[in-house]
Amino acid sequence: MAQYSTVSSSNQPHSFGTLLKQWRDRRGFSQLDLAIESGVSQRHISFIESGRAKPSRKMILELAIVLEIPYRTHLTSFAEVQ
């Protein structure tokens, strides 16, 4: 099983939006698919991925559940939002 890291090869941490897009792509979801499944608007997902919006802890959890992101991975994202 592939391991997913929150740090790039240049040792720079990824933003939550970058990680969200990576997980969404891995799961084969479009922004619209994720919006429908999570109840978060497609526009807001786009804003999160581009860094124009920061999700709440609750939203991170909702998106993580839909994308089946391991709990350990989205805990790292919680720290970033604070």
pLDDT digits 0-9 by tens, 10-62: 444 578 899 899 999 999 999 999 999 999 999 999 999 999 999 998 999 89
Q: Indicate which CATH number applies to the domain containing 69.
A: 1.10.260.40
Note if the pTM is more than 0.75: no
Q: Is residue 9 a part of any domain in this protein?
A: no
As for how many domains the chain has, the answer is 1
Distance CA 42, CA 33 (A): 9
Question: Do residues 77 and 65 touch, judged by C-beta distance below 8 A?
Answer: no
Q: What's the domain range around 47?
A: 16-81
